[in-house]
Structure 1
Amino acid sequence: MEKAGTEKSGADKPMHVVVRALSALTHLAAYRQGLTLQQLHRQLEIPVGSMHRLMNTLEQTGFVSRSPTTKRYVLGPGALALGQVNDYEPFVIQPPAPLVEAERLCGETVVLTQLIDGRVVAVSIAGTERPLRLFVRLGQEVPLHAAASARAILAYQDPVFVEMLLGSYPRPSFTSGTLREMNRLIDHLALVRERGFDVCDNELDEGVWAVSAPVRSGPAGRVSTAVTVCAAWSRVADPADRARAARVVLDTAQALSLDSGYGGTFGPDPGVDELAALLSAHDAAAGAAGAAGGERP
């Protein structure tokens, strides 16, 4: 029997390298924008050589990711998976009143998505009796690169975090129009911020058109949810119909934002005629990309 006051044996002592690895991961969790190797070295007081070897190992095993542009480390998919929620049922909610009203106004499926542990999940759907084959179902993850409902959220996240997410998960082609290339995705997110909404035109589901806008919450206007109208392409072939659907989405996003405690400005707020022009420009650009054999913008 071990005597009182006796030091722990070597087998009972924590392994130094494990403690350092856990310290680095815990520290990075507080810095969504990431930290450079030198910052980690200084803040954790770990010798730079040891820090470099440690981060290399964590990167190779997927617990951290390093941006090739900023050289900052952020938590990788391995670390995020430790806290990942596999059952999204607790996040599913009844359609809030603005979602129900949006479905009534446009007669199409309206979806609310939420960013949860690095995934974007459909947490509420105001359904419609009109037939529509959709990739997304209630409680299901949507692809980060191919769904307007995801990109409308990612456009307002920290760029390093977004780059890590897009680089850490597969970006398969669902249709010939799926946008997959990293640099074009980053450029596309900038376009989403510029116009205040996103469009998914035959990128995720053949014959399905969708428009999505971010929902802001709290005084700071943080974006973690988005509202989306999805319709069969044949029902929104007229640019005026697409413009009206986009206006419903923007109005619904604003109503949900106000309900979530946001009282600031909403940025671009185009009218139906301006929306029709923006959507026509999007269609023209998409057609040009398709004719050239490239991805949609």
Structure 2
Amino acid sequence: MRNKPSYAIDSVDHALRLAQLLQQEGPVRVTDAAEWLGVSPSTAHRLLAMLVYRDFAEQRPDRRYTAGRMLRPAPTSEAPLALLRRVALPHLRALAQRLHESTNLMVLVGAEVRFLATVEGDQPLRVGDRVGQALPAHRASGGRALLALMPVDQLEALYDSFDEIDLHRLRRELALIRKRGFAINDQLTEAGVTAVGAALHDPSGQPIAAISIAMPTVRFHRDRLPHWATELSTTTTVIERDLAAGSAK
């Protein structure tokens, strides 16, 4: 029998119980959640908003909440996540410091990319922390960079059941991305946010993850693309070098 820890943090406990409720019983209204937890509706609303932010919940058009992506069964990444995060973070910090924009590390998981690390830019208007979030790979810059390197048969198998995706058009877009070495997400996943991403390779040369530079769209100018592409290339090179050194230990 498990006893409640003496140092239990009520807000954490409420959030975990709410996640259980969504997974097992949802969809729920804010008032349902408040009654179940024994808290005020405003507190329940704040908890649900945080769960939505971290992809543990989704809000339906009828304003009820259901379990989000992080509470659903999903494929896992074969990438060495801890090593990737440890090796990449110092270089993401350096890149963010040079460009004053947010930088991200992500891996491909099925047809999504999962964010492993974010370093926020230092400007007042900036793209926030994305750690733990998942986005459609064919829309996210890092996901597009990774899909561009995927064999055609694997790409077609991955999107075979996605009727809403024009696979012929996607293949054309990915061919261009493969040729130039970076991908752009110009408000494909979020209005007002643009990102430029590039793939990372493991010591054997296989694409294993991706990094991106994310910025408010008002600061995105295509004449700066060569500079951002060079910064991404430089950063991927040093991360790959350190990954090879770390894997050899």
TM-score range (shorter-chain normalised) is 0.5 to 0.7
Separation (CA, whole Å) in 2 of partners of 1:162 and 1:186: 9
Separation (CA, whole Å) in 1 of partners of 2:179 and 2:226: 17
Selected match of 1:101 from 94, 109, 112: 94
**Residue 236 of structure 1 corresponds to which residue in structure 2?**
220
**Residue 184 of structure 1 corresponds to which residue in structure 2?**
169
**Residue 227 of structure 1 corresponds to which residue in structure 2?**
211
Structure 1 alignment gaps of length 5 or more: 1-80, 172-179, 263-297
**Residue 210 of structure 1 corresponds to which residue in structure 2?**
195
| Partner SS for 2:85 | coil
**Residue 184 of structure 2 corresponds to which residue in structure 1?**
199
Selected match of 1:126 from 119, 123, 129: 119
Q: How well do the aligned residues superpose, as a CA RMSD in angstroms?
A: 2.9
Cα 1:97–1:166 shift into 2, 3 Å: same
Deviation at 1:82, TM superposition (A): 7.2
Moved over 6 A (4+): none
Separation (CA, whole Å) in 2 of partners of 1:156 and 1:146: 15
Selected match of 2:230 from 240, 247, 257: 247
| Partner SS for 1:96 | helix
8 Å contact 2:107–2:209 — kept in the other structure? yes
Selected match of 2:146 from 116, 138, 153: 153
Q: Which amino acid aligns with 1:225?
A: A
Deviation at 1:169, TM superposition (A): 4.6
**Residue 75 of structure 2 corresponds to which residue in structure 1?**
84
Task: Using structure 2 for the length normalisation, give the TM-score.
Answer: 0.59
Separation (CA, whole Å) in 1 of partners of 2:89 and 2:167: 34
% identical aligned pairs = 23
Deviates more, 1:91-100 or 1:196-205: 91-100
Q: Which amino acid aligns with 1:207?
A: G
**Residue 47 of structure 2 corresponds to which residue in structure 1?**
none
Deviation at 1:118, TM superposition (A): 5.2
Deviation at 1:147, TM superposition (A): 1.1
Selected match of 1:113 from 81, 88, 106: 106
Q: Which amino acid aligns with 2:213?
A: V
Separation (CA, whole Å) in 1 of partners of 2:232 and 2:135: 18
Number of matched residues?
Answer: 169
Deviation at 1:133, TM superposition (A): 4.9
**Residue 28 of structure 1 corresponds to which residue in structure 2?**
none
8 Å contact 1:145–1:166 — kept in the other structure? no
